[in-house]
Amino acid sequence: MGPKGVVGLAGALIVVLLVLSSVYIIPETHRGVLLRFGELVETDIQAGIHFKTPVIDQVREFDIRVLTMDLPSRQYLTVEKKPLDVDSYIAWKIKDVDQFYRSTGGDEYRAQSLLLSRVDNGLRDEFGVRTMHEVVSGQRDELMHTLRDRVNETSVQEFGIEVLDVRVKAIELPGQVSDNVYRRMATEREKLAQEFRSRGKELAEGIRADADRQRTVILAEAFAQSEQTRGEGDGQAAKIYADAYGSNAEFYSFYRSLQAYEKTFANKDDLMVIDSESDFMKFLKDPQGAR
């Protein structure tokens, strides 16, 4: 290849490089700004193919998708001066590319630092006017919405950043405070349990005393009723015996003697000494009972 060919090839290569350096592409998820000698000349460049002046122009791209940032755990005081360890995060995105670049220089870490400062101060203020119960459960959602609106209002104006959400992930008591709270809770529960035990013991004693009284009354009434029934039975038995004896005295005397003989001679080893002329022996000597 001759000198002219080399020069031509070099010229073509330079042209290609100039064309390539003058064309840039902004992705769909990004927006851009154009700088000329470090000065901002065009902002909010939309997605697509664009042109710039080679060498003297510079393009910066910024992600406009929703970004999240976890905040470091911080300690805040409630209105009761009780410390709480709080973990939270922020969901945000770039809304105004021009304002974002002017306020942060296009540095995402600087933007996060500015947001962190705003949210930290907001959380401190919101926790400082609420009780522990309110920040844990009672007004937690209201606290988050109020803080989000408050931070978003200033961040859009000052940094071109829209704060979509500020959310508390966890609220915990500091270690030493937790131990004290747990001990106090245990003491209170033990005191309450002791009160329940004392009340239960008192009720048990009352129930037991009432049961013993009712038992005594029932036994006394049952004994009186049994004695009355036994007396009536004995009276009826005596009347029956008397009627039976009166209806046939000889047979009744003979029957009673047989019962006496059965009981007396039940054991063969027993020895009895008695006069043979005794009335007890009259039916043994004579079935008619005559002497």
Of 40, 63, 86, at which residue does a domain stop?
Answer: 63
Residue 239 included in any domain: no
71 with 38, same domain: the answer is no
51 with 129, same domain: the answer is no
Residue 125 included in any domain: yes
Of 35, 63, 91, at which residue does a domain stop?
Answer: 63
88 with 18, same domain: the answer is no
**Angle value at C-alpha 73, between 68 and 77, nearest 5 degrees:** 120
**pLDDT grade for 179, boundaries at 50, 70 and 90:** low
Q: Which residue has the tokens 């009355």?
A: 228
75 with 167, same domain: the answer is yes
| pLDDT score for 92 | 93
82 with 52, same domain: the answer is no
Residue 137 included in any domain: yes
85 with 138, same domain: the answer is yes
Q: How far is the C-alpha of 30 from the C-alpha of 106, rounded, in Å?
A: 13
pLDDT digits (tens, 9 = 90+) for 40-55: 888 888 989 888 888 7
DSSP helix/strand/coil, 74: strand
Average pLDDT over residues 140-144: 84
Of 127, 152, 172, at which residue does a domain stop?
Answer: 172
**pLDDT grade for 8, boundaries at 50, 70 and 90:** low
35 with 80, same domain: the answer is no
Residue 182 included in any domain: no
CB 100 within 8 A of CB 110: no
- Domain total of the chain: 3
Question: Which secondary-structure segment (H or E) carries 23?
Answer: strand 23-26
Residue 241 included in any domain: no
Q: How far is the C-alpha of 268 from the C-alpha of 287, rounded, in Å?
A: 23
Residue 10 included in any domain: yes
Is residue 164 scored above 90 in pLDDT? Answer: yes
Question: Which secondary-structure segment (H or E) carries 21?
Answer: helix 3-22
29 with 87, same domain: the answer is no
**pLDDT grade for 184, boundaries at 50, 70 and 90:** confident
33 with 90, same domain: the answer is no
Residue 28 included in any domain: yes
Residue 108 included in any domain: yes
Domain enclosing residue 154, as ranges: 67-172
149 with 99, same domain: the answer is yes
